[in-house]
C-alpha cells in the first residue's frame, strides 16, 4: 500500500505511484487513437455515417454512474471492514500483552516474552495466509523449535498458533499462576483473535459477484468506444480530448473498484498489512521489553 503525505494540488496532477493510471494507460491510448480515427473519417464506417444522439450517452452515462457508485461502495465496504478488523487486532494484541505482563506475576520475564512473541507470530501468519504466502521461515524466530516443527505441514497456521497461546494459558492456570477470572478475560481476547481471523477469511473467500465485475467492465468499455460517434458533431476537433477525459474517469474508477475489492493483496492501494504487523510487533515487544530495531515511519511515501 502507498502511504503518502498530502501534497500540493499541482503535484497531485502528476503523481504516478499510487495512481491506477499505469494500469489503464494502454486502454486510454487505444481509445484516444480510435477517437482521432473517428474524427479523421468524420464518423464514417466505409460510406455509412454513424449518427448517435448525445442525449443517449447522457442517459447511459447516468445509469452507468449509478451502477459504478454501487460497486464502488460495495468494494470500499470490503476494504474498510478489513481495515477495522486489523485495527481491532492492534487493540486486542496490546490488551492481551498487558494482561499477561500484569496479571501473571509468578513466572519469569523470559517466559512472558516467549508468549508475547507468539502473539506477534499470530499476526504475521494471518498476514501471510491472506496473501497466499505459504512460507514459515519469516516467523521462525518467534517460535520454539517444537512449535515451528508443528506448523510445517499445517494450512491454517494462525489457528495453530492460537492453540499454542491457549495451551500456555491453560497450563499456567493449572499451575495456579492465573486465576479463573483472569483466564476468562484472556480467553475473551483469544476469541477476538479468532473472530478477526474468521472475518478476514470471509472477505478473502467471498469476492464481489463475478457477474457485477463483468457487467461493469463491458459497459464501461462499450460506452467509451461508442462515445466518439456521439460527440463528434457537437465538439468537432475537441472530441478526442473530451473522450479521453471521460474514459479516464470511468476506466480508472473501474480499476480502483477491482483493486480495493481485494483489500489483502499487495497492490499499491491495498491494506498495508506488513506495516500494521510491524506496528503490532513493535508495540507489544516494547511492552515486554524485548530488544528490537527502530520502527520505520513513512517519510514522503512508502510501499508496504
The SS3 call for residue 45 is strand
The structural domains of the chain, with segments of one domain joined by +, span: 2-303
Residue 299: its pLDDT value, please? 43
Distance CA 232, CA 243 (A): 10
Residue 302: its pLDDT value, please? 45
Residue 247: its pLDDT value, please? 93
DSSP result, 188-216: HHHHHHHHHHHHHHHHHHSPSPHHHHHHH
Residue 34: its pLDDT value, please? 94
Residue 300: its pLDDT value, please? 41
Distance CA 266, CA 304 (A): 8
Residue 249: its pLDDT value, please? 92
Distance CA 93, CA 72 (A): 32
User: What is the crossing angle of helices 157-174 and 109-130, to 10°?
Assistant: 160
Backbone φ and ψ of 66, nearest 5°:
-65, -45
Write down the pTM of the prediction. 0.87
Per the listing, cell 487486532 goes with 89
Distance CA 19, CA 28 (A): 14
> For the CA atoms of 274, 280, 286, 287, what is the dihedral angle to 10 degrees?
-170
Q: Which residues make beta-bridge pairs with 303?
A: 2
Q: What is the pLDDT along the chain (304 residues), one digit of tens a residue?
A: 555 566 666 676 667 677 788 889 999 999 999 999 999 988 888 878 888 888 888 888 888 889 989 999 999 999 999 999 999 999 999 999 999 999 888 888 999 999 999 999 999 999 999 999 887 888 999 999 999 999 988 889 999 999 999 999 999 999 888 888 888 989 999 999 999 999 999 999 998 888 888 988 899 999 999 999 988 888 889 999 999 999 999 999 999 998 899 999 888 888 999 999 999 999 999 999 988 876 655 444 444 5
Residue 179: its pLDDT value, please? 87
Distance CA 181, CA 220 (A): 58
Q: How far apart are the first and last CA of the chain?
A: 5
User: What is the crossing angle of helices 54-103 and 109-130, to 10°?
Assistant: 160
User: What is the crossing angle of helices 180-205 and 109-130, to 10°?
Assistant: 20
CB atoms within 10 A of CB 232: 24
Residue 53: its pLDDT value, please? 82
Residue 59: its pLDDT value, please? 87
Q: Do 304 and 4 meet the contact criterion of CB atoms below 8 Å apart? A: no
Amino acid at each position: 500500500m502507498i502511504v503518502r503525505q498530502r501534497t500540493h494540488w499541482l503535484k497531485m496532477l502528476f503523481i504516478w505511484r499510487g495512481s491506477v493510471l499505469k494500469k489503464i494507460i494502454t486502454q486510454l491510448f487505444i481509445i484516444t487513437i480510435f477517437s482521432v480515427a473517428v474524427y479523421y473519417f468524420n464518423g464514417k464506417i466505409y460510406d455509412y455515417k454513424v449518427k448517435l444522439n448525445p442525449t443517449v450517452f447522457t442517459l447511459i452515462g447516468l445509469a452507468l454512474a449509478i451502477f459504478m457508485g454501487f460497486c464502488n461502495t460495495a468494494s470500499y465496504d470490503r476494504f474498510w471492514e478489513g481495515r477495522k478488523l486489523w485495527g481491532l487486532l492492534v487493540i486486542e494484541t496490546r490488551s492481551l500483552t498487558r494482561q499477561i505482563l500484569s496479571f501473571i506475576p509468578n513466572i519469569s520475564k523470559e517466559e512472558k516474552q516467549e508468549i508475547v512473541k507468539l502473539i506477534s507470530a499470530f499476526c504475521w501468519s494471518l498476514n501471510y495466509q491472506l496473501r497466499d504466502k505459504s512460507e514459515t521461515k519469516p516467523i521462525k524466530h518467534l517460535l520454539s523449535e517444537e512449535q515451528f516443527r508443528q506448523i510445517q505441514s499445517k494450512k491454517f497456521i494462525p489457528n495453530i498458533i492460537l492453540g499454542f497461546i491457549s495451551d500456555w494459558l491453560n497450563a499456567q492456570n493449572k499451575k495456579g499462576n492465573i486465576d479463573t477470572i483472569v483466564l476468562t478475560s484472556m480467553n475473551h481476547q483469544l476469541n477476538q483473535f479468532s473472530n478477526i481471523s474468521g472475518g478476514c477469511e470471509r472477505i478473502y473467500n467471498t469476492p464481489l459477484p463475478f457477474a457485477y465485475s463483468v457487467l461493469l467492465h463491458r459497459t464501461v468499455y462499450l460506452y467509451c468506444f461508442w462515445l466518439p460517434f456521439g460527440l463528434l458533431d457537437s465538439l468537432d476537433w475537441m472530441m478526442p480530448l473530451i473522450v479521453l477525459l471521460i474514459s479516464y474517469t470511468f476506466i480508472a474508477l473501474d480499476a480502483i473498484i477491482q483493486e480495493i475489492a481485494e483489500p489483502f493483496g499487495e497492490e499499491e492501494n491495498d491494506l498495508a498489512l506488513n506495516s500494521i504487523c510491524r506496528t503490532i510487533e513493535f508495540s507489544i515487544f516494547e511492552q515486554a521489553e524485548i530488544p528490537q530495531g527502530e520502527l520505520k515511519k513513512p517519510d514522503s511515501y512508502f510501499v508496504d
